[in-house]
């Protein structure tokens, strides 16, 4: 892969041969802007436009319309940069400068611009709510870490903590992507519409769980059963250093809200949008808690199978029944039993 165009607040750099990776990494590690790029590291075809002139600023602001690439990833910029009145500038003779847009920056495209680029130019667009979801999740890790750790304590574990956060984020991003394309396979439509449906399903389930997990609606014993879910969500280093401090340092309301969000994502990512949409508002909160209980039972069976532990006759019948009722549908979702990941 190569980067053929990149922009920041100071400049943009364009090169159809690809911009030197080592030079881009140098700027990153030294926390330098693009205006400090070493031109000697660029090919003869490269162009650098600084924003300290009107022409340079205009070239930077329109780079995405001009540079031809397989994918365009806006990772910053003003909201509605591509909007209802200028989306067609992304096209040349009806062909988009990039057929794939991944909105790493929130609200970079307006809804109508997404719709037009998809319907008129055939662009595949991964909406911000899916492409940038890890930004929100990372913020939640930052918040809970700031509650549990002093600056000194954080710096002591930073070297191992950050890779663990990245590992969690990659896993969560993969779940979002897999659900998005699974939903597309079942009901082909524009990906931004699917992203909106996923967000709506998670938000609706989260709202239901906020009610279900309130002190008035769940016993302390039941809440204690759910509490370890938070442990699985957190990076291992935080659990190792601060798990015993959570109840003292993190407000109970924050914990309950975080648990609701975690449980909602678990349900929607595993079972899909339509599964949740077919459950009434009145039943959703109760069902979500029950779902978790059943997941534990399934995980127990899975653990015994993977470790080679002998199943009881009842467990064997349960496993056969589960395969009979859901096995074929699951195989179809993976594109055939031969494609089920092992």
pLDDT in tens, 135-163: 889 999 999 999 999 999 999 999 999 99
Q: Backbone phi, then psi, for 326, in 5-degree steps?
A: -130, -5
Q: What is the pLDDT of residues 259-273, one digit of tens each?
A: 999 999 999 999 999
Q: What is the pLDDT of residues 9-51, one digit of tens each?
A: 999 999 999 999 999 999 999 999 999 999 999 999 999 999 9
Collapsed DSSP state (helix, strand, coil) of residue 237: helix
Say what the pTM is. 0.85
pLDDT tier at 225 (50, 70, 90 boundaries)?
Answer: confident
Q: Backbone phi, then psi, for 122, in 5-degree steps?
A: 75, 25
The string of DSSP letters for 166-202 reads HHHHHHHHHHHHHHHHHHHHHS---HHHHHHHHHHHH
- Read off the tokens for 62: 């329109």
Cα 97-131-21 angle, rounded to 5 deg: 60
Residue 13: is it exposed, middle or buried by C-beta count within 10 angstroms (0-12/13-18/19+)? buried
Q: Tell me, what's the pLDDT at 150?
A: 95
Q: What is the pLDDT of residues 226-250, one digit of tens each?
A: 888 899 999 999 999 999 999 999 9
Q: Tell me, what's the pLDDT at 168?
A: 96
Is 90 exceeded by the pLDDT of residue 101? yes
Q: Tell me, what's the pLDDT at 223?
A: 86
Pairing state between β 47-50 and 95-96:
unpaired
Closest CA to 148 of 263, 258, 222: 258
Q: Percentage of the chain with pLDDT > 70?
A: 99
- Read off the tokens for 267: 């349900």
Q: What is the pLDDT of residues 120-137, one digit of tens each?
A: 999 999 999 999 999 889
Q: What is the pLDDT of residues 296-326, one digit of tens each?
A: 788 888 889 999 999 999 989 988 988 888 8
CB-based contacts of 198, cutoff 8 Å, min separation 6: 129, 130, 176, 179, 180, 183, 268, 273
- Read off the tokens for 247: 């109840």
Is 70 exceeded by the pLDDT of residue 342? no
- Read off the tokens for 122: 């055939």
Sheet holding 5-7, edge to edge: 5-7, 11-14, 47-50
């Amino acid at each position: 892969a190569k980067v053929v165009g990149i922009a920041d607040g100071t400049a943009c750099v364009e090169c159809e041969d690809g911009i030197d990776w080592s030079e881009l990494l140098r700027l990153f590690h030294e926390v330098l802007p693009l205006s400090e790029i070493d031109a000697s590291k660029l090919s003869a075809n490269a162009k650098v436009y600084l924003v300290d002139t009107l022409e340079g600023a205009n070239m930077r602001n329109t780079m995405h319309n001009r540079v031809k690439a397989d994918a365009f990833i806006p990772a910053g910029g003003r909201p509605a940069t591509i909007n209802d009145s200028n989306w067609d500038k992304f096209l040349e003779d009806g062909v988009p400068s990039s057929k794939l847009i991944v909105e790493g920056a929130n609200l970079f495209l307006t809804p109508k611009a997404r719709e037009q680029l998809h319907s008129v130019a055939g662009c595949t667009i991964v909406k911000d709510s899916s492409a940038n979801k890890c930004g929100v999740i990372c913020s939640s890790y930052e918040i809970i870490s700031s509650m549990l750790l002093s600056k000194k304590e954080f710096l002591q574990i930073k070297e191992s903590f950050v890779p663990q956060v990245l590992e969690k984020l990659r896993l969560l991003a993969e779940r979002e992507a897999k659900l998005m394309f699974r939903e597309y396979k079942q009901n082909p439509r524009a990906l931004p519409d699917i992203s909106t449906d996923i967000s709506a399903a998670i938000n609706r389930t989260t709202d239901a769980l906020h009610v279900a997990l309130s002190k008035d609606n769940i016993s302390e014993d039941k809440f204690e059963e759910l509490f370890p879910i938070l442990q699985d969500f957190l990076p291992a280093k935080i659990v190792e250093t601060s798990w015993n401090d959570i109840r003292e340092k993190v407000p109970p309301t924050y914990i309950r809200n975080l648990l609701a969000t975690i449980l909602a994502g678990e349900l929607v990512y595993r079972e899909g949008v339509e599964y949740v949409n077919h459950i009434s508002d009145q039943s959703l909160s109760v069902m979500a808690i029950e779902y978790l209980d059943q997941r534990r039972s399934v995980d127990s069976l899975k653990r015994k199978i993977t470790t080679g532990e002998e199943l009881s006759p009842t467990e064997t019948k349960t496993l056969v029944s589960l395969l009979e009722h859901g096995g074929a549908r699951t195989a179809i979702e993976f594109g055939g039993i031969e494609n089920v990941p092992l």
